Structure 1
Amino acid sequence: MRNPFELDFASVDGDSEPADEAIVIQPEETNDGNRSLLQDEERRTDDLKERFIGTIDQGTTSTRFIVFDCTGVPVATYQTEFRQIHEHPGWHEHDPYELVESVYICIEEAMKSFLALGHAKFDIEAIGITSQRETIIIWDWETGEPLHNAITWTDTRTVELVRELKNKAGADDLVNICGLPLSTYPSSVTLRWMLDNLPDVRSAYDEGRAAFGTVDTWLIYNLNGGPRNKRLVTDVTNASRTMFMNLETLQYDDRLLKFFDIDRNKIRLPDILPSSDREGFGEVAEGPLEGVRITSCLGDQASALVGHCAFTPGMAKNTYGTGCFLLYNVGEKPVISKHGLLGTVGFQLGRDRKPVYALEGSVAVAGSGVSFLMNNLGFFRDSRKVSDLAATVPDSGGCVFVTAFSGLFAPYWIDDAQGTIFGITQHTQRGHIARATMDAACFQTKAILDAMEMDSGKKLTELAVDGGMSNSDICMQTQADIIQIPVDRPAMHETTALGAAIAAGFAIDVWKDFSDLKHMNRANTATFKPKISKKASARLYKTWSKAVEMSRGWKDPESHDDDDDDESA
């Protein structure tokens, strides 16, 4: 594997085509090699179509780099996938270097397209970053070398550790401080497991050499030159997913660190910044965008909330990606859920702005369920064909697929559930299973919306959607039928990446007020309205709820028997 810092960028930065040479404008430099801020101001235009922001969108299975103009239109993009490492059942890891390399590859290829359109490198005024959350990387602070693969948010190796922690004194108080319940989901539990089970991580920790970060921190660290500059930062949205940050103070809380037996004097934790910051995230150290500032950083689901311009309390979005994530804007004060949801930071678009909080419900399996049908069962060769297969039947034929590959997340939080399909008969076809797979994400979305209504005391009137599965008209119509409210799907689907671009623009004053974005990504929105009665919808949901209860206890049943024997003894 190539070191990400040894990629060949000559084809982008030093393109020999005469046309490209004619359009490249060499920026004036200051003494430290950076562009002159005065020159930045001089070359800017009021025409938002002639101003550009780049976004790194680093997801669970792929990475993309998109250049947006400041009307929200993508003008250049490139996407690449990377390896998924599954050494044991329930384990899911990434190679940290491959994550960085994928970013550089996407930048390199997208910039070829951008320059070919007649633009210059420094027409890109800023870069935003959005990335998968909770996935953590521990590396040697002195060398920059990862001490282990990244352990992803979908990994469930910590199930037994979670059970132990739930019995620990003070466990019930954690959610009131950080908004998150104990589960296999947050980064804190994974870090505890790494310290207990990985000698290299433990040694670095004991010697004070260990640096901790979620994917955003790792990418920013490397983009800024790695161990040469040692920039260790994160933003409030990502930090709120670690279970180390106090939702009120937006700083690490000693009570949380103590609960997980983490000594902050032995591990380097990233500084927590607002999601938009003109200076704090540094700049790209090398490659096609060398010298361009990074001015925003958000967790992917928070970024999608911004991308939908859900700036007003009561607005919500649902992203149908690898998992399914519904965020509901609750305003400038955090709400601690009483119904199984997560309290989190939605965004903070500048040091002079208050944070905006959200309630979140997370479905572990959405698009990954479609991948399961494709890769494990061979239902189709292209995941985009799932909607075609689902269209071969009028409904799921009575099949209910509880896609609990990693247990069930909000609002159920059933760690010992496993994937189960009920209602199969001799007449069941592949189309029925495809419908049931998509239905599963829709039913879990309904459960989350019900919990949000109970927590907030308000009923949602419409739902904005994005992500891969939202491209399926059948899936979105089913969603509208199940939740009995309209579902709005924008024509431009790259909402997560757009959110990071919007946040980056706020940092450099492209936009100064939320009202400046009232028309962003609103053209040609498709709206799906319920087509079945409330009674029919309730009947379907009742069947789903029955299947959820029947999926409990399938994971490691022998260990449960052993626990029962120990208790009776």
Structure 2
Amino acid sequence: MTEHILAIDQGTTGTTVLIFDRETHIVGRAYAEFTQHYPRAGWVEHDGAEIWRVTLATAGRALSSAGLSARDLRAIGITNQRETVLAWNRHTGEPAHRAIVWQDRRTAGFCDDLRSRTGVTEMIRAKTGLVIDPYFSGTKLRWLLENVPGLRAGAEAGDILFGTIDSWLIWNLTGGAAHVTDPSNAARTQLYDIHRGVWDDELLSLMDVPARGLPEVRSSSAVLGHTTADGFLGAGGIPIAGVAGDQQAALFGQACHGPGLAKNTYGTGSFLLMHTGASTLRDPGPLLSTVAWRIGDQPLEYALEGAIFVTGAAVQWLRDGLGLIAAAAETEELARSIPQNDGVYFVPALTGLGAPHWDPYARGLIAGLTRGTGRAHLARAALEAMAYQTRDVTRAIEAQTGIALTELRADGGAVGNSFLMQFQADLLGVPVEVPRVSETTALGAAYLAGLATGMWQDREEIRATWKLARRFEPGMGTAERERLYTQWTRAVEKSRGWAA
């Protein structure tokens, strides 16, 4: 049997496809961006049909780069941007509207209304582990049902299907035969009881979402369906055997398989997760309790999460919005070109603030500008903001769990920026470890698929494949660390409630 797994990492700004062998070497890869749509301030949308076309084309290029055909694959694993939700026609396969992206803020008013109702915040928190925020899928799906003509009637008649992006990709890969998701994605909809492991009638009623169009929730590591020749590059019968939301996939890919182990993924946003075992915290505070994954028929496993909405996206904004840089890689050289930040801070609350603040009305702020401020200061401030926001979350995790962080495993595109990784270690006061395979989101999806199809026998075998590439030791003094962080917290407070 072939020893290659194709992992689809369907992210917020683009799709990456990697092909791994049994030793987790990347033997093929391809990447393509897709269009970001901003129809109004605070609204973010994706074209589901474009995502599918880009994914299919990118998979073809990755196979070509590996010298393989689709028939050479043992299995497919999928990991995806979470919370982004899409509705499509069961019969035609056409999206009913653009997907509403996790960053979108259009349901902030409805979230305010939910918070004003007696007992609703507590009920949602108890069942889902989540706070009330436009971030999650349920209120987005309600908006689609209320605002797209004919959508509710179609949903109630069984003609419309709903899903997060994993469900959309699997539905297309299987030629419409499988409408499924996994618990890690279902847990982000605010429609799923993470303790009972079911779509919850009370939550569905609250959001006014008909259950009929929702996907079946299956395990994260199991055969969920098979490709059709029409659906996947002429190759039918390939098992789709691993699915997880991007951050849970990265947690699995970093071999954080037991309680207390933590990782941070630096992508469009940043997400720090700590594995909490077979149960959730009684009080997660300003953090989220979420499903980590379910392996086969084993019980659900859970994680504590701090979700940071904008990190890498701030660098993308410097590139695309302001034209200050031509490529993200320029930021490291620019940051190193000045000896310090000269008091310039960038709070990238471009879509509000996530954990631990949860302020949908916060807006981006640049503070400390002088006549001497140049693009190097802004580039450095954007990188430093990633580290400051990560410290915000680690402090909250330590407060809720009583566990002091002793090291942080880092992954995602930004780990190639040595300035950022060193500053992160300095600001946290603990080592930051970067693995040999930094694309741990895709690797986690591959692990889940390989575990379900026998490429790896168990988690111990998977953990043995994790290799350290570089370790960044903290070198900053405590007084300087606290001085910088105090200034950051002042800037954050200035950004709070700006659009209220």
Give TM-score, length-normalised by structure 2: 0.96
Please give the alpha-carbon distance, in whole angstroms, between the structure 2 residues aligned to 1:284 and 1:483: 48
After superposition, the C-alpha distances for 1:308-335 in whole angstroms (9 at most, x for unaligned) are 1111211111111001111111111122
Amino acid of the structure 2 residue aligned with 1:181 = V
CA shift for structure 1 position 123: 3.2
Alignment of 1:232 onto 2:152: no
Q: 1:153 aligns with which of 89, 93, 102?
A: 102
Q: 5 Å matches for 1:124-523?
A: 124-172=73-121, 173-226=123-176, 229=177, 231-264=178-211, 267-278=212-223, 280-286=224-230, 287-351=233-297, 353-523=298-468
After superposition, the C-alpha distances for 1:199-238 in whole angstroms (9 at most, x for unaligned) are 2323323433221100000100011013xx3x11000110
Change (3 A) 1:169 1:262: farther
Q: How many residues align?
A: 497
After superposition, the C-alpha distances for 1:29-78 in whole angstroms (9 at most, x for unaligned) are xxxxxxxxxxxxxx46xxxxxx1111111111111221100111100111
Q: For 2:193, what is the secondary structure of its paired residue? A: coil
CA shift for structure 1 position 285: 3.9
Please give the alpha-carbon distance, in whole angstroms, between the structure 1 residues aligned to 2:234 and 2:271: 33
Please give the alpha-carbon distance, in whole angstroms, between the structure 2 residues aligned to 1:248 and 1:516: 29
After superposition, the C-alpha distances for 1:343-368 in whole angstroms (9 at most, x for unaligned) are 111122212x2222101111111111
Amino acid of the structure 2 residue aligned with 1:432 = H
Alignment of 1:112 onto 2:64: yes
Please give the alpha-carbon distance, in whole angstroms, between the structure 2 residues aligned to 1:98 and 1:157: 22
Please give the alpha-carbon distance, in whole angstroms, between the structure 2 residues aligned to 1:248 and 1:232: 22
Partners of 1:281 and 1:296 within 8 A in 2: no
Q: For 1:333, what is the secondary structure of its paired residue? A: coil
Please give the alpha-carbon distance, in whole angstroms, between the structure 1 residues aligned to 2:70 and 2:47: 29
CA shift for structure 1 position 402: 0.9
CA shift for structure 1 position 288: 4.5
Alignment of 1:67 onto 2:19: yes
Q: For 1:145, what is the secondary structure of its paired residue? A: coil
Aligned partner of 1:561 in structure 2 is none
Alignment of 1:553 onto 2:497: yes
Specify which structure has the bigger relative contact order, considering alpha-carbon pairs within 8 angstroms and separated by 6 or more residues.
2
CA shift for structure 1 position 136: 0.4
Partners of 2:352 and 2:363 within 8 A in 1: yes
Aligned partner of 1:29 in structure 2 is none
Amino acid of the structure 2 residue aligned with 1:539 = R
Deviates more, 1:149-158 or 1:137-146: 137-146
Please give the alpha-carbon distance, in whole angstroms, between the structure 1 residues aligned to 2:69 and 2:29: 16
CA shift for structure 1 position 432: 1.2
Please give the alpha-carbon distance, in whole angstroms, between the structure 2 residues aligned to 1:426 and 1:120: 57
Q: For 1:396, what is the secondary structure of its paired residue? A: coil
Please give the alpha-carbon distance, in whole angstroms, between the structure 2 residues aligned to 1:156 and 1:410: 15
After superposition, the C-alpha distances for 1:493-541 in whole angstroms (9 at most, x for unaligned) are 2111110000001101222222112332304x21111111222212221
Change (3 A) 1:120 1:93: closer
Amino acid of the structure 2 residue aligned with 1:187 = S
Alignment of 1:544 onto 2:491: no
Please give the alpha-carbon distance, in whole angstroms, between the structure 2 residues aligned to 1:528 and 1:321: 19
Q: For 2:150, what is the secondary structure of its paired residue? A: helix
CA shift for structure 1 position 452: 0.9
Q: For 1:199, what is the secondary structure of its paired residue? A: coil
Please give the alpha-carbon distance, in whole angstroms, between the structure 1 residues aligned to 2:340 and 2:160: 52
Please give the alpha-carbon distance, in whole angstroms, between the structure 2 residues aligned to 1:417 and 1:362: 15
Partners of 1:147 and 1:200 within 8 A in 2: no
Change (3 A) 1:338 1:53: closer
Please give the alpha-carbon distance, in whole angstroms, between the structure 2 residues aligned to 1:268 and 1:198: 15
Which has the higher Rg, Structure 1 or Structure 2?
A: 1
Amino acid of the structure 2 residue aligned with 1:96 = G
CA shift for structure 1 position 170: 3.0
Please give the alpha-carbon distance, in whole angstroms, between the structure 1 residues aligned to 2:90 and 2:105: 27
Alignment of 1:82 onto 2:47: no
Partners of 1:337 and 1:359 within 8 A in 2: no
Change (3 A) 1:147 1:120: closer
Q: For 1:383, what is the secondary structure of its paired residue? A: coil
Where does the alignment leave 5 or more consecutive residues of structure 2 unmatched? none
Partners of 1:111 and 1:288 within 8 A in 2: no
Aligned partner of 1:32 in structure 2 is none
CA shift for structure 1 position 122: 3.5
Amino acid of the structure 2 residue aligned with 1:502 = Y
Give TM-score, length-normalised by structure 1: 0.85
CA shift for structure 1 position 121: 4.3
Change (3 A) 1:473 1:482: same
CA shift for structure 1 position 168: 2.2
Amino acid of the structure 1 residue aligned with 2:173 = L
Aligned partner of 1:48 in structure 2 is none
CA shift for structure 1 position 430: 1.3
After superposition, the C-alpha distances for 1:135-155 in whole angstroms (9 at most, x for unaligned) are 000112233221101110011
Q: For 2:248, what is the secondary structure of its paired residue? A: helix
Q: 1:535 aligns with which of 468, 479, 482?
A: 479
